Amino acid sequence: DAGITQSPRHKVTETGTPVTLRCHQTENHRYMYWYRQDPGHGLRLIHYSYGVKDTDKGEVSDGYSVSRSKTEDFLLTLESATSSQTSVYFCAISEGAGTGTNEQYFGPGTRLTVT
Amino acid sequence: GQNIDQPTEMTATEGAIVQINCTYQTSGFNGLFWYQQHAGEAPTFLSYNVLDGLEEKGRFSSFLSRSKGYSYLLLKELQMKDSASYLCAHRDAGKSTFGDGTTLTVKP
């Protein structure tokens, strides 16, 4: 199994509070991703990173920010949580994104509830 | 995913063959992926196609037609443990776009 962990695994927070989710990898992979998954839906990309300090937006980036100061860590921050951000958040890593398979390996997920 | 379509649910019998279809639209393309996700778990990689044709890997095969924007995942000799959601995804440069997944139920 790819060495990828997420913390916390579960969190309940109140509307308006800031929340930071952490993704940590031990594979030295270049690419890291944050997705959210809602019931009955696939994965929707929030932000991704293609190197230290290099990040880009995904399809649902509003209300989220990210930072990557080290290869192994990718942080997702909800500046002011809203109930619509209640979801399961998955982090993923991949070695590359060009030619070659470069499949994504997913972390175990973080279940976030905003009350 | 708004530009990827796959059936929401499918049911099949243990030991049978099932084909899960996926159609997509994208301006840039460097690969089509299939992932399996059991309930309450993280997705895991199943297959990758970048050229047209069939890729076979044990009981699972995946087909791609780039000109038609079409892929399918074929599962043979179905087992109860194959009950899961199957996610189709295409990659364009650094970003992957996922479909909403097909929930497959395998019945005895």
Over residues A49-67, the mean pLDDT reads: 95
Residue A96 pLDDT level (bands cut at 50, 70, 90): confident
Contact A56/B at CB under 8 A: yes
Q: Which of A42, A56, A106 sits opposite B99 (nearest CB)?
A: A42
Give the minimum alpha-carbon distance from B8 to chain A in angstroms, rounded to a whole number. 8
Which residues lie below 8 Å from residue B91, measured CB to CB, with a gap of 6+? A97, B29, B30, B31, B32, B33, B97
pLDDT of residue B54: 96
Q: Which candidate, B46, B96, B59, places its Cα nearest to that of A58?
A: B96
- pLDDT tens digits, B42-94: 999 999 999 999 999 999 999 999 999 999 999 999 999 999 999 999 988 88
pLDDT of residue A35: 98
Over residues B7-33, the mean pLDDT reads: 93
pLDDT of B1 above 50: no
Contact list in B for residue A34 (CB cut-off 8 A) is none
Residue A1 pLDDT level (bands cut at 50, 70, 90): low
Query: What is the rounded distance in angstroms from the CA atom of residue A94 to the CA atom of residue B73?
Result: 22
Give the minimum alpha-carbon distance from A81 to chain B in angstroms, rounded to a whole number. 23
- pLDDT tens digits, B9-21: 999 999 999 999 9
pLDDT of residue A78: 97
pLDDT of B2 above 70: no
Give the minimum alpha-carbon distance from A99 to chain B in angstroms, rounded to a whole number. 7
CB–CB contact A106 B33 (8 Å): no
